[in-house]
Amino acid sequence: MSDAISFLSPRADVLARRAHIVADLTDLLPPECLVHEARELVPFETDAFVSYRRLPLAVALPRTTAEVSAVMRYCNRYGIPVVPRGAGTSLSGGAIPQEDAVVIGLSKMNSILEIDLPNRVAVVQAGVTNLNISESVSADGFFYAPDPSSQLACTIGGNIGMNSGGAHCLKYGVTTNNLLGVRMVLVDGTVIELGGKALDAAGYDLLGLVCGHEGQLGIVTEATVRLIAKPEGARPVLFGFEASEEAGACVADVIAAGIVPVAIEFMDKPAIEICEAFAHAGYPLDVGALLIVEVEGSEAEMDATLKDIVEIARRHAVKTVRECQSATEAALIWKGRKSAFGATGRIADYICMDGTVPLSQLSHVLKRTAEIVDHYGLRVANVFHAGDGNMHPLILFNANDPEDAARAEAAGNDILRLCVDAGGCLTGEHGVGIEKRDLMRHQYSEADLAQQMAARAAFDPGWLLNPSKVFPLEGRPAA
């Protein structure tokens, strides 16, 4: 897969002008907003997809939309590639730079600009963390629904770039379902406004195009997001099964019955053991697969919904049903699930996949995933959003062993192809980045890709924004 993670060749003319470019950027930004010394660039050389590293030419850390615009205008004028960066939590290599690129980081743009409870919206800068929005309105009885596991660190700009989801996306949707408007800087420095506080906007749905654009259409500097009233109550319940296939079939039947819990999360036995050792959440260790099903509403509503779910689970030979008895217990249950990636990192290096499959195919894909990983002589821990079929198999390997790493990447590619062949897609929320770039041809025809690239080129004719990402390098139009 090393060829699949290749980068465009650095632009020699840009590298030759490095000192001049840095001097020009110094005129556009104050000293504390520009990073250009080699040792200071190291934190920006990669993101959470840490297998690949590149030192950027420089890093701009603007504080305002106007400063983002000035840097973008300058880079566009002189043909300098630009890589947008939020918190660097991308798991697909979406924020990895190139040697000839200027990284524009949004970490200094971290203010909540307005809380408008009558309209149930918040206006925030792109560097605000996902969780900070919910915390800012919690006392008033509201929250921001998307909740990726990295929500303590990930920022709204990155969430918009990748159309992030989270455990509760089954009921509340992903970022695109909770985004009402953006302020965005185009490649030539033009600032545009899309959407706003209204529930719908006139004209073409450009906001829908921007959400999930992976930094290739512009740089979002501000966002207007939807706030939702907290439910009357919420209750997570643990369902333990003998095997993953039974748990997967149970999920499919719950959704087929028209029941929509707020969340259905899946863990197989390796993931259960890893997360329990870290969080001590009280997960059953005598089962082969675990579902965390959360319902919400009044006590009567939750009781009725759980009764229906338990009946379905019994048809799939459920071994354990344990209802949460306190807020502390609920917090522990979710701590274990949301700590899964970090807990796994304590015991091994891993690659996290992000394919999505139809619920009817969950059991089949889980079985084939185990067979694929076993074929390569590796181990896998499965933990994912089962309610919408967004799978996150964690392929465990030794990053210090090149052959082991190559096997892990090959297994990951096979799993993603499996997801597409099962009627799903390459990514549910992590994005394509560089990780899945060359697999795009497995999902899309050349005509499909040409249409997508034409839309991208309409915003960025010179292909300066986040180069080497999303689309296969071969077959791109000449910049």
Residues 118 and 79 in one domain: no
Structural domain tally of the chain?
Answer: 4
Asked if 8 and 468 touch (Cβ cutoff 8 Å), the reply is yes
Residues 313 and 406 in one domain: no
Say if 137 falls within a structural domain: yes
112 has pLDDT over 80: yes
Query: What pLDDT score was predicted for residue 200?
Result: 84
Query: What pLDDT score was predicted for residue 9?
Result: 87
Say if 388 falls within a structural domain: yes
Say if 191 falls within a structural domain: yes
Residues 121 and 174 in one domain: yes
Query: What pLDDT score was predicted for residue 479?
Result: 56
Asked if 140 and 121 touch (Cβ cutoff 8 Å), the reply is no
Residues 63 and 85 in one domain: yes
- The tokens of 354 are what? 């992000």
Mean of pLDDT values over 377-387: 93
Say if 305 falls within a structural domain: yes
pLDDT tens sequence across 265-322: 999 999 999 999 999 999 999 999 999 999 999 999 999 999 999 999 999 999 999 9
Which of 229, 262, 287 terminates a domain? The answer is 229
Sign of the CA dihedral 259, 263, 268, 272? negative
Distance CA 97, CA 466 (A): 8
Mean of pLDDT values over 382-408: 92
Task: Check which CATH number belongs to the domain holding 311 and give it.
Answer: 3.30.70.3450
Say if 478 falls within a structural domain: no
Residues 20 and 65 in one domain: yes
* Beta-strand relationship, 102-105 and 58-60: parallel
Residues 251 and 184 in one domain: no
Residues 189 and 270 in one domain: no
Q: Report the share of the chain in percent with pLDDT over 90.
A: 86
What confidence tier does 5 reach under pLDDT thresholds 50, 70, 90? low
Residues 217 and 245 in one domain: no
pLDDT tens sequence across 120-165: 999 999 999 999 999 999 999 999 999 988 888 999 999 999 999 9
210 has pLDDT over 70: yes
Q: Look up the domain containing 413 and give its range.
A: 348-421
Say if 58 falls within a structural domain: yes
Query: What pLDDT score was predicted for residue 51?
Result: 73
Mean of pLDDT values over 82-103: 94
Say if 403 falls within a structural domain: yes
Query: What pLDDT score was predicted for residue 274?
Result: 96
SS (H, E, C) 215-281: CCCCEEEEEEEECEECCCCEEEEEEEECCHHHHHHHHHHHHHCCCCCCEEEEEEHHHHHHHHHHHCC
Sign of the CA dihedral 321, 325, 329, 335? positive
Distance CA 152, CA 367 (A): 33
- Report in angstroms the alpha-carbon separations of 4 from 52, 136, 176, 473: 12, 42, 29, 9
Residues 155 and 214 in one domain: yes
As a residue count, the chain comes to 479
Distance CA 164, CA 154 (A): 10
Exposed, middle or buried, 118 (CB in 10 Å: 0-12/13-18/19+)?
A: exposed
Q: Which residue carries 């499909």 as its tokens?
A: 448
Say if 194 falls within a structural domain: yes
Residues 118 and 205 in one domain: yes
Task: Check which CATH number belongs to the domain holding 25 and give it.
Answer: 3.30.43.10
- List all residues 6 or more positions away from 259 whose beta carbon is below 8 Å from its beta carbon: 305, 308, 309, 312
- List all residues 6 or more positions away from 120 whose beta carbon is below 8 Å from its beta carbon: 142, 226, 227, 228, 229
What confidence tier does 357 reach under pLDDT thresholds 50, 70, 90? very high
Which of 82, 105, 128 terminates a domain? The answer is 105
Distance CA 122, CA 164 (A): 18
Residues 165 and 117 in one domain: yes
Residues 9 and 98 in one domain: yes
Task: Check which CATH number belongs to the domain holding 396 and give it.
Answer: 3.30.70.2740
Alpha helices in 141-227 (DSSP H): 156-162, 169-172, 206-210
Task: Check which CATH number belongs to the domain holding 197 and give it.
Answer: 3.30.465.10
Which of 421, 442, 457 terminates a domain? The answer is 421
pLDDT tens sequence across 165-205: 988 999 999 999 999 999 999 999 999 999 999 888 888 99
Alpha helices in 315-445 (DSSP H): 327-338, 340-345, 362-375, 402-421, 440-443
Mean of pLDDT values over 214-238: 96
Query: What pLDDT score was predicted for residue 4?
Result: 43
